[in-house]
A = this chain, B = another copy of it.
Amino acid sequence: MTTRSPLAAPPRPAATAHRPPQGGDTYRELREAIVSGRFQPNQRLVEAELTKLFGAGRTSIRSALTRLDQEGLVTREQNRGARVRLISDREAIETEQVRIVLERFLARSAAERITSGDLAALEDTAQAMRERVQQGDAIGYSELNARFHQRIWKTADHLVASMVLASLKSQSIRFQYRTMLRPGRAEESMREHEAILVALRARDGDACDAAMADHLRHVVDTLRWAIETQHREPAWSAH
């Protein structure tokens, strides 16, 4: 629980010999605060307050906000400030649907051009995932899961698709952990990944496409479940 800013924020990072407080830094911090849930959806982001929180000038905050706006993490209205963007249930589902078509595309490409080195790296990741499942470590599994998919992207070697997927990911990250809480989901997910791995080993594009589609269909189902349970017990109420 790295509580980095002890509230009062270092007002004068003066001794800045060793750390150039470049503007892109406040962007990362603010972004992290949003995706980690420290700022709740729909919460107002007043520039003056962020100034104090992050110990940066209003200019940097403002720049970060426009970036996050373009990225879809916050919304801004003319002369009325910014707030953390609330992603509707429908939009979460749609995001996942787009992810499906792109990941299928990348899975197919990856299967057709995978090298032995790529395959070895994937096997390693899969092995680590199996261990996390046995240990019941949902968080660790979730992170390795993301790595598994990213390795496939890298194998497919398709920059544009990877970029688009990465930008989509940041929006749905809020549900990421919640989905793994579904009983038995981790084991199921692991089996689906094994099927993908089989198709990759065989360098079978069609099979890999199908396996990935099957996997992501279950992901969407689980996402629907997560949205349901969230509505039943709104641990974090907006507003």
Complex Cα spacing A41 to B26, Å: 30
Interface size class of A (residues with CB under 8 A): 20 to 34
Determine if A70 is an interface residue (Cβ-Cβ < 8 Å). Answer: yes
Determine if A217 is an interface residue (Cβ-Cβ < 8 Å). Answer: no
Cross-chain contact B78 with A22 (CB below 8 angstroms): yes
Determine if A182 is an interface residue (Cβ-Cβ < 8 Å). Answer: no
Cross-chain contact B70 with A160 (CB below 8 angstroms): no
Secondary structure at the A interface, as helix, strand, loop or mixed, is: helix
- Kindly supply a per-residue 1/0 record for chain A positions 65-95, scoring 1 wherever the CB is within 8 Å of any chain B CB and 0 otherwise: 0110011000000100000000000010011
Chain B residues whose CB sits within 8 angstroms of the CB of A70 once the complex forms = 66-67, 70-71
Given A22-B78, A66-B67, A71-B70, check contact A161 B102 (CB 8 Å). Answer: no
Determine if A164 is an interface residue (Cβ-Cβ < 8 Å). Answer: yes
Chain B residues whose CB sits within 8 angstroms of the CB of A62 once the complex forms = 63
